[in-house]
């Protein structure tokens, strides 16, 4: 559930009094900096003196130290956390924003996880959130309104092998609690928002608590966020009084995909072994949020060279290409077929995509393949790149033998006739595809062949079909 602009949404944060738990490192520190940078005074609940000193130095270098007050507190201790909230309220005479961000976790298999660690994960993530909500809510009501922000996670929505079971359970509980609380407080002056980040790189979460190889291999092919991007999304959510914020923007697609076929999704996530990227290293990536897309080929968005999906594909080694074919292609095919083209990895990343159903050149049986496309003359321009492998993909041979095919995209099944293009028209489509992603040039160079380019022109269905 998500609301659009509300007239009572804050136009600015100047003068607001905020409290961020776990606000001295990672996402919490990025949120602290973002709020302080907008003129708010931020109280930070931190567990250790070391994290306070490190955060203070970073805030000092950004000339924000005077806008932040640190409290050494264990938020899983109810009395201590309630006193921290009372102190922050007393210092500013109000409490406008509470961000429940603190977390504790060690990602291990259940058999290797101590009961005490599971309990601490629940106390720090879920119990502390409840303490914070119960202490802050009456203060906000008495003060005329406020914002409660609870930090969930994609791990609390999609359940696959890799994440800690305890961590996923806590985030699932936060997810449920926050959405029900938001419903209870809807249209009141107190706004409640759930934030569900996906993989966030460059934090102590991966640096100290979670080995990157606990992530599934498919995570190597998906965009990650930075703490600053999550913080920016939170500020945007506060301004627009959103009830759910998912970062990066492809996550709702992933959640719907998982809901459609959880067993298939779990099986897919288990293929290829563990991730190979080091998620502890910072990654600078542009926002991956996308706007709703039209079903018309001419209106489909064409992202430039900055598209995270195609930038990543540009770097794939032949071994990674084979893995992408085993993981990404079956996932994309399943998404298209289950949703009639409304869902796909490409659409989730802002890349126009379709599912092509052709007839096998030899078997005559239906063959499905997901493709990115460039809008061209009321139809679709597609290329047989095959990730830069030496041979032409099978679907191009299918179209040469049987030009009649079907395109599935944006909830529609569209009969098309395929035509292999040459000359100026080929160059025209090729340039559009290169604007979509320069990876295609890499594929052409790597393959050593002339990539087949087709124009898929919508046509009337054949009689009897």
Residues tagged active-site:
167
Full strand arrangement of the beta sheet holding 190-197: 68-72, 41-46, 17-21, 97-100, 146-151, 190-197, 244-247
Tell me how far the alpha carbon of residue 323 is from its chain's centroid: 21
Between CA 365 and CA 66 the distance in angstroms is 69
Residue 8 CB neighbours (<10 A): 8
Between CA 394 and CA 266 the distance in angstroms is 28
Between CA 39 and CA 89 the distance in angstroms is 17
Among all chains, which residue has been given the structure tokens 């909830």?
Answer: 411
Cβ-count burial of 142 within 10 angstroms (0-12 exposed, 13-18 middle, 19+ buried)? exposed
Cα separation values, 229 from 91, 140, 197, 284, Å:
30, 27, 10, 9
Between CA 261 and CA 200 the distance in angstroms is 25
Contacts of 296 (CB under 8 A, 6+ apart): 410
User: What are the strands, taking DSSP E only, across 159-271?
Assistant: 190-197, 244-247
Coil, strand, or helix at residue 159? coil
Full strand arrangement of the beta sheet holding 379-383: 366-372, 353-359, 404-409, 412-420, 453-458, 379-383, 374-376
Between CA 164 and CA 70 the distance in angstroms is 30
What's the sign of the alpha-carbon dihedral 412, 259, 264, 154?
positive
* H or E element that contains 182: helix 165-184
Give yes or no for a contact between 128 and 151, defined as CB atoms under 8 angstroms apart. no
């Amino acid at each position: 559930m998500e609301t659009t602009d509300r007239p009572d949404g804050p136009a600015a944060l100047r003068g607001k009094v905020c409290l961020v738990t776990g606000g001295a490192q990672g996402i919490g520190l990025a949120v602290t900096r973002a709020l302080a940078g907008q003129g708010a005074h931020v109280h930070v609940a931190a567990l250790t003196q070391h994290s306070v000193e490190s955060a203070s130095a970073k805030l000092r270098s950004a000339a924000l130290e005077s806008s932040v007050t640190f409290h050494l507190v264990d938020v899983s201790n109810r009395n201590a956390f309630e006193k921290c909230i009372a102190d922050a309220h007393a210092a500013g005479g109000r409490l406008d924003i509470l961000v429940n961000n603190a977390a504790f976790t060690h990602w291990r298999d259940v058999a290797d996880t101590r009961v005490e660690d599971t309990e601490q994960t629940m106390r720090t993530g879920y119990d502390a959130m409840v303490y914070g909500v119960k202490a802050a809510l009456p203060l906000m009501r008495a003060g005329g309104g406020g914002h409660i922000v609870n930090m969930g996670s994609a791990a609390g929505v999609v359940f696959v092998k890799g994440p800690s079971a305890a961590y996923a359970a806590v985030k699932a509980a936060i997810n449920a609690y926050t959405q029900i609380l938001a419903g209870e407080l809807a249209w009141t002056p107190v706004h409640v928002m759930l934030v569900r980040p996906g993989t966030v790189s460059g934090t102590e979460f991966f640096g100290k608590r979670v080995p990157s190889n606990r992530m599934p291999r498919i995570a190597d092919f998906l965009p990650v966020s930075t703490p600053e991007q999550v913080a920016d999304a939170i500020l945007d959510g506060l301004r627009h009084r959103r009830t759910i914020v998912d970062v990066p923007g492809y996550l709702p697609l992933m959640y719907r995909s998982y809901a459609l076929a959880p067993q298939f999704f779990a099986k897919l996530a288990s293929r290829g072994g563990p991730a190979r990227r080091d998620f502890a290293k910072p990654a600078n990536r542009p926002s991956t949020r996308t706007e709703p897309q039209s079903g018309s080929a001419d209106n489909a968005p064409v992202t430039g060279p900055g598209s995270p999906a195609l930038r990543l594909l540009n770097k794939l080694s032949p071994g990674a290409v084979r893995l992408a074919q085993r993981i990404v292609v079956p996932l994309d095919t399943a998404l298209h077929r289950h949703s009639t083209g409304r869902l796909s990895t490409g659409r989730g990343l802002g890349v126009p995509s379709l599912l092509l159903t052709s007839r096998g050149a030899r078997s005559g049986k239906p063959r499905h393949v997901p493709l990115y496309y460039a809008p061209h003359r009321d139809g679709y321009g597609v290329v047989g790149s095959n990730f830069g492998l030496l041979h032409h993909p099978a679907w191009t041979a299918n179209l040469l033998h049987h030009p009649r095919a079907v395109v599935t995209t944006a909830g529609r099944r569209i009969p098309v006739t395929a035509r292999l293009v040459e000359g100026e028209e080929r160059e025209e489509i090729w340039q559009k595809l290169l604007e979509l992603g320069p990876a295609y040039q890499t594929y052409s160079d790597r393959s050593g062949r002339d990539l087949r380019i087709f124009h898929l022109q919508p046509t009337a269905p054949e009689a009897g079909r």
